[in-house]
Amino acid sequence: MTSAPARYVHLDGETIDLTNRLLALASRGLPTMYRTETDEFAFTRVFTAENGLVSAHLSGTSLRYAAIVALGVAWLPADQVPALLGGHDLEKFVALLVDRQATSSNLGDIALVAWAAAQIGHPRLPEALERLRAFDRRTAAEYVVEASWVVAALATARKQADVEDHLAAARRRLLDSVRPGSPLFPHATGPGLVKPYRDHVACFADQVYPIQALARLHHSADGGDAEALQAARTTAEQICRLQGPDGQWWWHYDARTGGVVEGYPVYTVHQHAMGPMALLDLAEAAGGITDFDEPIRKGLLWLLGPAELGDTENPMLLDDEGLTVRKVFRGDPRKIVRAAHTVTTRARSGLKLSVIDRVYKPLSLDRECRPYEFGWLYFAWLASVEVPAEGIAR
């Protein structure tokens, strides 16, 4: 058995070995996603794989993904970081993000940069927090993912700066977004952002980021935050209850009832990073519970041979090239299955057209890989709820 950090040392040998393999893959792949000509991370790396040959190219840039990378690589030894960040140490890299945060108009990007600065106790944290304070509308509806990042950023910063008023409003906005009686979070914290015909549909990201943020909020509070912890646990237990038979973390849920609207696509990053990240953060914040070890293990092992693909040789992990296949999906034109299930479940929860599932089977692969996938991978398996942490990369 290979060695493992404390966060996953208690898991079984197969899981530990796969996790170490993924971390090594990420360290090979992440440097290839840095655009030295503009000194920032690409949005995605698109690739083809034919006859054993892989060809890849970069597309776009993303402040959001760069901030997530900063959150993840912070947990690596400091001497490993420059090779992943275009030659920059972490403090310099986060300073670049704060520069770009000043011109961003996206709440999620702004919150992630503030979180990255808070996590390492960056000298420019006050500047990053002020940008977040000025931009966050607090009482207006926001997407749940971005509202969660605001909570995570402020909870991480609260021992370094006076953010209590802002954090109280952000906390309430997130907790109050859940519909009475539902175990799951919606897509938005209030009306107006989502079209009425699909406002009952939430995604996997809408669940994992609140779980993570509320777990970290609980840990950051003197005496804990029982309401936040319970909300996180309720949602975590529900997504685990709904996990697919082969470990799939499903994509779309009914935020009214807590059921599945449409399972596909199944995203690789959900399996190896986002699902484990939220559950491990919750387990640590709640005192080391192990209730989620089996869902974490099953989710990871799906990567080794997705049942959807049968015996077809379509590896999800390209170790030498530092790539993961982004997702397994149905390949249906205009996402017709998702649209159909959205309409039918709107009329009646759980109502689906099974024939359309049989016509459009999940046999397609999306061959692209994005930097944030590796940022959350590092964070999932190497991080702690104790931040700023001693020895964190600077």
**pLDDT (mean) for 328-353:** 72
pLDDT of residue 321: 95
pLDDT of residue 311: 67
**pLDDT (mean) for 363-381:** 95
Which ranges of the chain does DSSP label H, i.e. alpha helix? Answer: 13-29, 63-73, 90-101, 107-119, 125-135, 144-157, 164-175, 205-220, 226-241, 268-269, 275-285, 293-301, 336-347, 354-359, 371-382
pLDDT > 80? residue 168 = yes
Q: Does domain 13-382 have CATH number 3.30.2080.10?
A: no
Residue 292 confidence class, pLDDT cut points 50, 70, 90: very high
Residues making up the chain, counted from first to last: 394
Distances in whole angstroms, Cα of residue 296 to Cα of each of 90, 127, 280, 293:
29, 37, 9, 5
pLDDT of residue 393: 56
**pLDDT (mean) for 370-377:** 98
Residue 132 confidence class, pLDDT cut points 50, 70, 90: very high
pLDDT > 50? residue 1 = no
**pLDDT (mean) for 77-101:** 97
Ranking 102-111, 152-161, 307-316 by mean pLDDT, the lowest is 307-316
Concatenated DSSP letters for 148-199? HHHHHHHHHHTTTS--HHHHHHHHHHHHTTSPTT-SS--SBSSTTSS-GGGT
pLDDT > 70? residue 79 = yes
pLDDT > 60? residue 313 = yes
pLDDT of residue 391: 47
pLDDT of residue 180: 95
Strand order in the sheet with 364-366: 266-267, 327-329, 364-366
Q: What is the mean pLDDT of the chain?
A: 92
pLDDT of residue 351: 59
pLDDT > 70? residue 303 = yes
Among 210, 143, 150, 142, smallest CA distance to 175 is for: 210
Ranking 72-81, 192-201, 305-314 by mean pLDDT, the lowest is 305-314
pLDDT exceeding 70 applies to what percent of the chain? Answer: 92
Torsion angle (degrees, nearest 10) of CA 132, 63, 188, 330: -170
Token digits of residue 153: 């950023």
pLDDT of residue 211: 98
* Cα atoms in the Cβ-side hemisphere of radius 13 Å centred on 271: 29
- Where do the structural domains in the chain lie, given as residue ranges? 13-382
